[in-house]
Amino acid sequence: MNTSNTGKGLGKGGGKGRNSGGGFGVGGFCVCAKCGEKIPHQQGVKCTTLKCPKCGKTMIREELLKK
């Protein structure tokens, strides 16, 4: 038995998931990619589940627009 291996069990993907494991945290804004309307992000509510109050399109997290 080889005990010199010090693997971390994360496999090829590194175990970080979406957005490299960096959740955007509390605060920030949901933004409409079409008209630019901004509304405060609510913890536990994904921006993509919200519709823009001005034009009705799907909102996205502000940090994703900046990529």
> Each residue of 1-30: pLDDT tens digit?
555 666 665 556 554 444 544 466 677 999
The whole-number pLDDT of residue 5 equals: 61
Structure tokens that stand for 42 in this block: 């609510």
Distance, in Å, from the CA atom of 35 to the CA atom of 65, rounded to the nearest integer, reads 13
* Residue 65 banded pLDDT, cuts 50, 70, 90: confident
The whole-number pLDDT of residue 27 equals: 79
> Each residue of 33-60: pLDDT tens digit?
999 999 999 999 999 999 999 999 999 9
- pTM score, whole prediction: 0.61
Distance, in Å, from the CA atom of 66 to the CA atom of 40, rounded to the nearest integer, reads 17
> What 8-state DSSP symbol labels residue 30?
E
